[in-house]
Amino acid sequence: MPSKNAKWITGIITLLLIFPIFIGLIGTLLPAFAYFPPLGEYNFSLAPWRSLFSQGEFYASVKLTLITGIAAPLLALWFALSLLAWGYQRPFFRKVEALLSPILAIPHAAIAIGLLFLLSPSGWLVRLFSPWLTGFDRPPNWITVQDPYGVSLILALVIKEMPYLLFVMLATMKSIKARESLQVGQALGYSRFTLWRKVLIPQLYPIIRLPIFIVIAFSLTVVDLALVIGPNTPSTLAVTLLRWFNDPDLSMRLMASAGAIALMLVIVVVLAGWELAHLSFSKLSRAERSNGKRSGLTDNLLRVGVALGLLCLLNAFVALALLPIWSLTRRWRFPDALPSQWTWDNIERATPLLMDLTVNTLTIALIATLMACVISLIMLETKRHSSKGSSLSKPHVFDWLIYVPILLPQIGFLFGLHVLLIYLNLNGDLCAIIALHLMYVLPYVYLTLKGPYLAYEEEYLLQANRLNHRPWRNYVLVKIAMLKPAIFTAFAIGFSVSIAQYLPTLIAGEGRYSTLTTEAVAQASSGDRKQVGSMAMLQAFFPIMVFWLAQFIPPRWTKWRLALDALFSKKNRRNNKCSV
């Protein structure tokens, strides 16, 4: 891509990314200090904070947020490290790796709904053991989901976060020379788990610190997952804030804004605490690393982690399998393990609604992801162009800012941004929804494309330009065509991120545009498992399909294209002969 104005292009796109976040933060910060002109509040004061601190629910919500937001990433990290230590470089682990991408692709809400079907008192787990073991002929009066301690929410978060961390860790294995370290260590007589504990995990942690922070920030602020499977009286702080923001009493918005700022402070405190804990832990364990013991009792921690990690994965797959089962169920009485009658009626009945939701969902996801791909390509090409002669790995300010939308809690600035949308008369507009989706899709697409794009062997394009003096055509026909696998993967990731968006759709769309995700979350507690199952199934189907296509098409593209060319040239030849 011939780009002469690299600095300008980077600057404008960076501004376009940062401007809405900045406005959103201001739009939350000012009401938190009682300045909110739409409600006639023009005087700064601490009143919203005083109301916030006088709410008993606030403290209960913060407590729950801390429990779920710290336990989930801690467990996810433990299980992911254990699974990696157990399986890395073993042939069967390739199969486990292949199982990760569907879980990564599926929206959180779909997994939460599947877990609801699995773990609730009338769920499949209790059915499986009833009545022959439990003696239950009706669902027990237990609280297994939406429990007051947030255990089911923690489980759902772990199921979603563990594969992500595993995926990130696998990508770093080469840079820490894991295979070589394992060979050397095992030759010295160290057991596999001890080697991971003493040699590899300490090297791995600094590299994956940022993804861990993203996971922690997500766990502390997640809304859709917590709405479906989290506790509700009280709920986690993000869900409580959503309720306050949506309260018909508009003055609650001031307290909610103060709560949103408090949530951001909670993130900062938890991240600082996490880092401090890591520093203390690594200081304490340093002496143990060089004590020469070839195995140790602590290895068992990793062994237990493997068992629990596998159990989580199993849970995820059973939960996902339950989505299509429920959508095809006519009659499924407790305690039957499977439906006694099957039907397509549920899907047929839901088809008009599902069609509408699917059209909205796909329109938003396709446009936002295509835009994110184009912007990422422009940014990366200008980055490559501006780093000529210097190191490509030198980070540009955009490389840091791109993390801001992922790290900041959505609830912290989306409501502030909503005020701007109302001001611009863009509230409830499809363009506004796409723009907000783009803000969340862009970081994932950019970060996925960055590695392969900057590693591209530029000599191919230079050679193309020497052979054929049409730079734009060469850029598309040679560079973009050769980067197809990376672009397809980035597209699939961006698409699945867009499909999963709940709060941006809800806030920008104001209910005028529903997607599969917003509707599935809204109906999750309705009790109509057949309809919710159909929605969640579709919600899971599209990302999996796009992920599969992204893996399937690029290696076959050239072969298919050449076969089609051959077919058409044969046809043309035959037609020419006829005309002669």
Partner 1 sequence: MLSVNAFSLSLDGKALIKDLSFEIASGQVLSIMGPSGIGKSSLLHFLSGSLSPNLITTGEAFLNNQALHTKSTQERKVGLLQQMPLLFPHMSIIENLLFAIPADIKKSARIDMAQDALEKLGIPDKANALPKELSGGQQARVALLRTLLSQPDYLLLDEPFSKLDPALRRDVRAFVLNEIRHANIPALLVTHDPEDAKAMEGDCLELGILISTLY
Q: Which is nearer to partner 1, 278 or 385 (CB)?
A: 385
Q: Is the dihedral of CA 521, 527, 532, 536 positive or negative?
A: positive
Q: Per rule CB under 8 A, is residue 99 in the interface with partner 1?
A: no
- Smallest separation (angstroms) from partner 1 to the CB of 374: 21
Give the total of residues touching partner 1 (CB under 8 A). Answer: 24
Q: Could you tell me which residues come within 8 angstroms of residue 118 by beta carbon, excluding any fewer than 6 positions away?
A: 124, 125, 315, 318, 319, 322
Q: Which residues contact 199 (CB under 8 A, 6 or more apart)?
A: 181, 185, 289
- Ranges assigned E (strand) in 24-66: none
- Which residue from 78, 63, 116 is spatially nearest to 230, judged by alpha carbons? 116
Which of 105, 214, 263, 464 touches partner 1 by CB under 8 A?
Answer: 464
Report which residue type is found at 368: A
Judged by CB under 8 A, the residue of 95, 283, 469, 577 near partner 1 is 469
Kindly tell me which residue out of 40, 91, 248, 389 binds partner 1, with binding defined by CB under 8 A. Answer: 389
Closest separation in Å from C-beta 457 to partner 1: 8
Q: How far apart are CA 486 and CA 451, in angstroms?
A: 9
Q: From the centroid of its chain, how far is CA 89?
A: 26
Q: How far is CA 477 from the centre of its chain?
A: 32
Q: How many residues does the chain have?
A: 580
Q: Is 503 in the site for partner 1 (CB under 8 A)?
A: no
Which of 138, 394, 470, 570 is in the footprint of partner 1 by CB under 8 A? 470
Which C-beta is closer to partner 1: that of 74 or that of 464? 464
- 1 sits near partner 1 (criterion: CB under 8 A): no
Question: Which amino acid makes up residue 222?
Answer: V
CB nearer partner 1, residue 40 or residue 389 = 389
The string of DSSP letters for 461-502 reads HHHHHHHS--HHHHIIIIIIHHTHHHHHHHHHHHHHHHHH--
**Minimum separation from the CB atom of position 495 to partner 1 (A):** 23
> Could you say which DSSP state residue 394 is in?
S
Q: Which member of 290, 352, 459, 526 binds partner 1 (CB under 8 A)?
A: 459
Q: How far is the CB of 11 from partner 1 (least distance, A)?
A: 22
The 153-182 site mask, x for binding partner 1 (CB under 8 A), equals ------------------------------
Instruction: For the segment 553-572, give every residue that binds partner 1 (CB under 8 A).
Output: 557-558, 562, 565-566
By CB under 8 A, the residues from 286 to 315 that bind partner 1 are none
Query: Which range, of 65-73, 263-271, 465-473, 517-525, touches partner 1 by CB under 8 A?
Result: 465-473
- Contact between 456 and partner 1 by CB under 8 A: the answer reads no
Both tokens assigned to 94: 């390739």
Q: Based on CB atoms, which residue is closest to partner 1, 283 or 466?
A: 466
Cα(76)–Cα(164) distance, integer angstroms? 9
Question: Cα angle at 255 between 414 and 73, to 5 degrees?
Answer: 60
**Site of interaction with partner 1 (CB under 8 A):** 388-389, 459-460, 462-471, 477-478, 481-482, 484, 557-558, 562, 565-566
